[in-house]
Structure 1
Amino acid sequence: MKRIEFFTDPRTGEAMFQLIGDTTARQLTENDREIIEELLRISETFYPEQFAALGREYAASARNPKYYDFLRARRIANCCFGANESHPDIDEQGNCQFEDVSCPRKAECKYFRVICHPTFSTSLSDRELQVMQLIFRNESADQIADHLYLSVHTVRNHRKNALRKLGFHSTEEFIDFAHRTHMFER
């Protein structure tokens, strides 16, 4: 996946995108399958509440899968990445940099803080998540073991399993991802 910047066209309200390094911005359409599929994969994998809410919101269009996927991806682009900035909203690894989008309907939107600013969620066990949060907070394996009443070996196993489940190869990749997604700020 290439680095992508999304924004909302202020005149039309349509979701626009630009590949980083390209000077041309385009409107997101049903034919942008790779981008649509990536947005939906990220949503389903890391933001399941958002993914489920989008499914409910656009259920009436589900019989036309291509259009249904487009509607859900367009909503993600408009609600999570509305500003046109110089940094990518999605990087090569599929990590998202959500933005606070100015929306006149926030107060009445039933999906406020579900579709926009979604909560990160994974298949990590509670203990794996605890260990990773302490790693994120710069605690050593020895400190985590003392804090959680575990052996250092168990802490390292939880770390290894969490990295595997999340698809990361190193603790540094995880920490970078956790910072960008505000994983432990909620």
Structure 2
Amino acid sequence: MKDLEFYILENELWCLFPDGRNEQVTERNTELIHDILSQIREFYPEAYKDLSIWFQRSASNIPYFQFLIVEQFAKCNFGELDTTRKDIDGMGIFNFEHVKCPLRGRCVHEGKVCSPRFNSRLSDAEMRVMKLVYDGFRIDEIADTLYLSPHTVKNHIKSVYTKLKIHEKSEFIRYANSKNLFKE
């Protein structure tokens, strides 16, 4: 899920993919839907909860339910065709736009689904992994120490970097020192 640009055409959600494809997003885009839904759940839990309630009547049809959540989230936050900055960049970071909406200022979903708050709270599991990163452990050593797969360790590190809007270990070390995350 890298360098994606979404836009609305005749009330349908479309996506420009990095390989040049330009296609309507439907429930058949299962990998795309799954990736974006995972990001929404983790980083925008209030939006996910609100959207789940909004589309609860479709919850028995899971692929369609998940599609509706992603489609509405994208329509509310990525609906304009913008060539200056991708809606989802190469790091998987969401870049929200101020989408034109006739309900702006009156919508009950504003501030929840539309322009949602980012959840930057690090989980206990992420803190355990990042403590070992901070202490200089390698990914394989962290995996062995915490009884995790190296893949899971990498996912925790990526999630922390995304939440903190950093890109590398040295930035994390500076952040941890400035916030006294691991000082005793």
Query: Could you say if the C-alpha distance between residues 71 and 173 of structure 1 is closer, same or farther in structure 2, counting changes exceeding 3 Å?
Result: same
Q: CA deviation at 1:93?
A: 2.5
The alignment partner of 2:88 has SS state of: coil
Task: Tell me what 1:96 maps to.
Answer: 94
The alignment partner of 2:90 has SS state of: coil
Distance 1:29 1:59 in 2: 18
User: Which of 156, 167, 173 is matched with 2:167 structurally?
Assistant: 173
Gaps of 5+ in 1: 126-155, 176-186
Task: Tell me what 1:5 maps to.
Answer: 5
Q: CA deviation at 1:108?
A: 2.9
Q: CA deviation at 1:77?
A: 1.2
Identity of aligned residues (%): 30
Q: Do 1:53 and 1:114's aligned partners in 2 also have CA atoms closer than 8 Å?
A: yes
Q: Deviations over 1:24-55 (max 9, x none)?
A: 42111010011111111111111110111110
Distance 1:55 1:94 in 2: 22
Give the 5 Å matches for 1:36-75.
36-75=33-72
Q: How many residues in Structure 1 have an aligned counterpart in Structure 2?
A: 143
Q: Do 1:47 and 1:119's aligned partners in 2 also have CA atoms closer than 8 Å?
A: yes
> How does the TM-score come out when normalised to structure 2?
0.67
Query: Could you say if the C-alpha distance between residues 110 and 21 of structure 1 is closer, same or farther in structure 2, counting changes exceeding 3 Å?
Result: same
> How does the TM-score come out when normalised to structure 1?
0.67
Gaps of 5+ in 2: 124-129, 136-155, 172-184
Q: Does 1:77 align with 2:74?
A: yes
Task: Tell me what 1:149 maps to.
Answer: none
Query: Could you say if the C-alpha distance between residues 14 and 122 of structure 1 is closer, same or farther in structure 2, counting changes exceeding 3 Å?
Result: same
Distance 1:171 1:36 in 2: 23
Q: CA deviation at 1:166?
A: 3.1
Structure 2 counterpart of 1:31, one-letter code? R
Distance 2:165 2:101 in 1: 36
Q: CA deviation at 1:8?
A: 1.0
